Amino acid sequence: MPHVLLLSLLLGALCSPGQAMSQEERHRLRNQVVEMFDHAYKNYMDHAYPADELMPLTCRGRVRGLEPSRGDVDDALGKFSLTLIDTLDTLVVLNKTTEFEAAVRRVLSDVKLDNDIVVSVFETNIRVLGGLLGGHSMAVMLKEGGHHMQWYQDELLHMAKDVGLRLLPAFNTSSGLPYPRVNLKYGVRGPETRTGTETDTCTACAGTIILEFAALSRFTGDPVFEAQARRALDFLWEKRQRNSNLVGTTINIHSGEWVRRDSGVGAGIDSYYEYLLKAYILLGDDLFLQRFNIHYASIMKYISQPPLLLDVHIHKPLLPARTWMDSLLAFFPGLQVLKGDIRPAIETHEMLYQVTKKHNFLPEAFTTDFRVHWAQHPLRPEFAESTYFLYKATGDPYYLEAGRTVLDNLNRFARVPCGFAAMKDVRTGSHEDRMDSFFLAEMFKYLFLLFADAEDLPFDVEDYIFTTEAHLLPLSLSMAPHSSAAPWNTTSEEDLDDSNFDWTCPNTRLLFPDPAFPRTLRDPIRSAVDKSCPRPAPYREPGMGRPPLRAQDFMANNPEHLELLRRMGVSLIHLKDGRVQLVQHATQAVSAVAAEDGMRFMQEMMELSSQQQKEQLPPRAIQLVSHPFFGRVVLTAGPAQFGTDLSKSTTGVRGFVTVAEPYSGCAELANPEYVQGRIALLQRGQCMFAEKARHIQKAGAIGGIVIDDNDGSSSDTAPLFQMAGDGRSTDDVTLPLLFLFHKEGNILLEALKEYREVEVLLSDKARDRAAIFKGKTLPGSLMESSVDVKEEEDCSTEATTPTASAHIDQSQMSTVGSDESAPEEVSPSEDEVSPLHKEVSLPDEVSPSEEEASPPEEKPGLTESKVERDSKERGEEPEGDTDSSSQSVDELLADWRDDLEAFQQMEKDEL
């Protein structure tokens, strides 16, 4: 598939409903970028060169070993004039060809690579090898133009190969994953190397090699580099979690076991995903796009909660792993532009833009309510990168204004006499004596391209791909000769069926026919982020000192209640996993009194959550008892806080199932004659659970099963949910109502489709088959003794974040949003009790039950169908077709063991 098709997105531009920036203003900003670059570059050359980096506060170079160690950060420094090499192709982009030629001569004459120093394989690859390859690409382009670099004879390429050869010893592992560090002179083996004892590396560290190594192979004709990079990527792909298709953050380079099982798109993983897509663009190999698309689908399913991107556990991807985001994820909207998924890119970028405007820079980490978590900002370029790509894709001048904001803040807050200094604390504006090489390599490159016209560039930027360090590699490398001896594709085509994905990006004119549409995406996000200035407050709430709305009376589908929340500075954010987050910003309240009311409202929510902790219900079981199942298939079901209590029933409720009409159960049933005396199947959504129960009860049903409408949800990957009431008395509901996730619900629906008549038993736990049939003769295959199903015991996991988690009794509350149940979980952080800031996180419809925190071995009967479990214990293939997975028994057992290890690790990790 021609790789150029993926770039077709950049051809479509949207006209913005706002006023376009004048060409004169754009040129002024373009020239300002050049002036700022000159200030930074000149001070490095005057005060720091040949040191690796500039220390802008003390106006001297940072030489490793002469300055106090900063830990892992210093692993990027190798006494090889890092900033100069990293800046080479930036000089050409900014039309500084004379300076570029001088810089290349300096690199060739001054830089030595045979240094007895331990460096990061990842940083040296993307900054030094990438910088030399980008410089070589620019030198060749200028030489072919006939005006510059006529003396050049591939000297930078020879130097790049020297770097590559010095990195190769790091790949000498059984897995193919590289050691995280290498000695430039001695490699990784032997006492003189002072390295080679590490066992772990980050996913991005091992997975961000392919662009530079493949380019080096294709420039030089030596296939060894590309082969090693592909081997590392193949191993990471094979070690992905097969159920969630996510990868962890840290992996053992020898065993391939995940050391940290949290997964996101930020630090530790970010450029692994980036390089899968860009490797397809650069090399034209469909395999990389197929892998990226599979990962991307899981990212959008589990991690993306627009506008947020929240880390999850790879084995339980509906469980959040942390309550904050790191600034490195700011690259992701730009990657989504290359993918062609513009809407979430706009949403996440807008969130990041508002956080930037609130704090002047993106903090290294910030919470889901946009407060500072880690206050540093080392002048990272990822936000500028995404701003550039969104402008290229949409043509919306809004992104020119975002770029102007970045420029202004750099000049106002980071500029110092000897360059630009990193921010030690964005809240106080204090500086750190640091100007990383990536600031010159990336920041000014993206900002210049944002404001420049095509004629301002000495080459067509569309002929190149940007590496993660923004170095330029020519797309013509896809046509360069490379070894075909190595079996690149180690995965069968059946495993990589990519038929559900588009191969090319949509033109944004067709994607967004309404020019105002991007603005409609941005506006609600802007209002969700705390403004830097309080709103005017002419309005005074009635009932001074008393909250206008009590937590126990709140109904989220009541427009009047939502308006009252708005006046109190409380906003609702709907998360993708069904939860709703309540956030209070006192500065957004219409008055000081209203802000106090909002604080009381949030405190009441927390008190309700404390009460709810004591009222958790255990999971229930739905057992298929008719032919051909005969009790062998048991589905884990969530309970309801109303209706028949199955734990007090010795027999449970048994009956045939039928689908209610309407399927939502939100109106009087149109098929009562079919529902009467049966168990009704319903779909989650559109109304409250209690309302569904009343409608099927009126039609004569003896029970109900609600099936999740969230495609792909499963009790294997999600915490157990329980359904709540509607804020009114539910004593009138006398039938049992249970909840099935989408995967388990599909098992039931497929059985009904195939066998027409399916009988189930609703109970508090799976029953022995002999007890189900009460002494009747069972089929021969069922005469074996049944496996006992133990009741689950309550257990709670150790807190891993400074967040107090609790549950609110939904019988006292109404639904959140338009779905069935009320906010159920309140998770205020300890520091959110301050009058100025509060946050409450709640599940939208149903809440996790505490039992889900117990390890899988404590839940043998309810985590999977009984027939599958029995078969696994015997080492046989499971009977029936209750699981669409084609994994072998060995693979299933391996994944099950991974789950056990994940739970044990989750209890120890502090994320």
Return the closest-CA partner of residue 420 out of 408, 428, 410.
410
CA angle 769, 772, 775 (to 5 degrees): 85
Residue 846 and residue 816 in contact, taking contact as beta carbons nearer than 8 Å:
no
Residue 140 and residue 97 in contact, taking contact as beta carbons nearer than 8 Å:
no
Which residue out of 75, 369, 382, 832 is catalytically annotated?
382
Dist CA 129 CA 146 (whole Å): 26
Our answer to whether residue 364 is catalytic in this structure is: yes
Structure tokens at 629: 């199942």
Residue 320 and residue 797 in contact, taking contact as beta carbons nearer than 8 Å:
no
φ/ψ region of 875 (left if φ > 0, alpha if ψ in -120 to 50, else beta) reads left
Residue 470 and residue 445 in contact, taking contact as beta carbons nearer than 8 Å:
yes
Give yes or no for a cis peptide into 2 (omega within 30° of 0). no
Residue 716 and residue 747 in contact, taking contact as beta carbons nearer than 8 Å:
no
Work out whether strand 837-843 and strand 579-585 pair parallel, antiparallel, or are unpaired: antiparallel
Residue 168 and residue 107 in contact, taking contact as beta carbons nearer than 8 Å:
no
Our answer to whether residue 270 is catalytic in this structure is: yes
Name the burial class of residue 564, with classes exposed (0-12), middle (13-18) and buried (19+) by CB atoms within 10 angstroms of its CB. buried
Question: Looking at the DSSP assignment, which residues form a beta bridge with residue 261?
Answer: none
Looking only at Cα atoms, what is the longest distance across the chain?
Answer: 95
Task: Compute the CA torsion angle 404, 407, 412, 417 (nearest 10 deg).
Answer: -160
Residue 86 and residue 469 in contact, taking contact as beta carbons nearer than 8 Å:
yes
Residue 125 and residue 209 in contact, taking contact as beta carbons nearer than 8 Å:
yes
Dist CA 233 CA 288 (whole Å): 9
Dist CA 905 CA 310 (whole Å): 19
Structure tokens at 419: 């360059």
Dist CA 335 CA 292 (whole Å): 11
CA angle 905, 908, 911 (to 5 degrees): 90
In residues, how long is the chain? 911
Residue 599 and residue 584 in contact, taking contact as beta carbons nearer than 8 Å:
yes
Dist CA 80 CA 904 (whole Å): 44
Dist CA 384 CA 402 (whole Å): 8
SS3 109: helix
Which residue out of 74, 75, 89, 123 is catalytically annotated?
123
Our answer to whether residue 382 is catalytic in this structure is: yes
Which residue out of 74, 86, 234, 270 is catalytically annotated?
270
Which residue out of 75, 326, 364, 432 is catalytically annotated?
364
Dist CA 71 CA 273 (whole Å): 26
Residue 48 and residue 55 in contact, taking contact as beta carbons nearer than 8 Å:
yes
Dist CA 216 CA 129 (whole Å): 9
Its sign, for the CA torsion 763, 767, 769, 770, is negative
SS3 824: coil
Any idea which residues carry the catalytic annotation? 123, 270, 364, 382
